[in-house]
């Protein structure tokens, strides 16, 4: 089932990218493995999937420890809310943190990354919809954040991430996806140097095609790949 789902998702991603005037290879599928058992993750890996995302540090630690050599063959992003006191473990486990939303966390990640001798990729989470239930910087706070974080040599701020409010109709989310793209482009003009912010992580199982049409480079997909989880019933499908 997972192999078939993955093939269908790649086809839909390619079609959405073409509608948006981009190449299919410009969009990466991040497989969300929250509560997904290792057997299904291994099946996804055997089907060619390499990019994965976890929401909880402790759950990820248990999974990744059990993977053996497969861990080195895969690329793991952290996509949940991260507290500064778990930054050290997150740096050890993940290649990228997609949910940096304050300077305290950015500085903690920078400190632990430099101590580990690595340069950690991070995305800045932006609350473009100004949803009080969601984390993230406001669009106005982003330039100040980037100016303050410019001195941090242990992290590479390479993109933006957003989680818009839940809506039953994917098309209604298009303005928020477009707003993140516009913010990225405007910020890059202000930075005035290359490479700037390259990545846009936005879109999940029910709305990823709209997100891709609006410029997503990473789509976070769980349910459409692994099937519905009991804990996701009544909630937004990732």
User: Average pLDDT, stretch 13-40?
Assistant: 97
Nearest to 121 by CA among 148, 146, 157: 157
Q: Is residue 236 part of a domain?
A: no
Q: Is residue 233 part of a domain?
A: no
What is the enclosing helix (H) or strand (E) of 180? Answer: helix 174-191
pTM of the complete model: 0.93
pLDDT for 195? 73
Q: Is residue 45 part of a domain?
A: yes
Q: Is 218 exposed, middle or buried (0-12, 13-18, 19+ CB in 10 A)?
A: buried
Q: Is residue 46 part of a domain?
A: yes
On average, the pLDDT of the chain sits at 94
Distance CA 104, CA 24 (A): 36
- Which structural domain, as residue segments, surrounds residue 212? 2-228
User: Average pLDDT, stretch 24-43?
Assistant: 96
Distance CA 235, CA 6 (A): 22
**173-228 tens-digit pLDDT:** 999 999 999 999 999 998 776 678 999 999 999 999 999 999 999 999 999 999 98
Instruction: Using DSSP, state whether 157 is helix, strand or coil.
Output: strand
Structural domain count, the chain: 1
Distance CA 21, CA 164 (A): 23
Q: Is residue 83 part of a domain?
A: yes
pLDDT for 234? 42
Domain with 29 in it: what CATH number?
3.20.20.10
Q: Is residue 7 part of a domain?
A: yes
Q: Is residue 49 part of a domain?
A: yes
pLDDT for 196? 87
User: Average pLDDT, stretch 119-127?
Assistant: 98
pLDDT value at 146 more than 60: yes
pLDDT-derived band at 31 (thresholds 50, 70, 90) equals very high
pLDDT value at 128 more than 70: yes
Q: Is residue 199 part of a domain?
A: yes
User: Average pLDDT, stretch 146-162?
Assistant: 96
């Amino acid at each position: 089932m997972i192999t078939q789902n993955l093939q269908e998702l790649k086809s839909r991603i390619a079609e959405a990218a073409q509608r948006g005037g981009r190449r299919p290879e410009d969009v990466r599928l991040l497989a969300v493995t929250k509560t997904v058992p290792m057997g299904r993750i291994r099946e996804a890996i055997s089907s060619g999937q390499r990019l994965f995302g976890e929401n909880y540090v402790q759950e990820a630690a248990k999974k990744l420890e059990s993977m053996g050599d497969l861990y080195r063959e895969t690329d793991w992003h952290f996509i949940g809310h991260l507290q500064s006191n778990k930054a050290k473990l997150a740096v050890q486990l993940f290649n990228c943190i997609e949910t940096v939303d304050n300077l305290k966390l950015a500085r903690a990640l920078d400190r632990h990354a430099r101590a580990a001798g690595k340069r950690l990729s991070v995305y800045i989470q932006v609350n473009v919809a100004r949803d009080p239930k969601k984390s993230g910087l406001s669009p106005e706070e982003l330039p100040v954040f980037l100016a303050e974080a410019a001195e941090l040599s242990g992290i590479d701020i390479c993109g933006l991430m957003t989680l818009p409010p839940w809506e039953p109709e994917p098309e209604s989310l298009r303005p928020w996806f477009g707003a993140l793209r516009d913010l990225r482009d405007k910020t890059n003009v202000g930075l005035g140097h290359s490479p700037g912010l390259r990545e846009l992580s936005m879109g999940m199982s029910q709305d990823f095609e709209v997100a891709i049409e609006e410029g997503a480079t990473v789509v976070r997909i769980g349910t459409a790949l692994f099937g519905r989880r009991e804990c996701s019933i009544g909630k937004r499908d990732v």
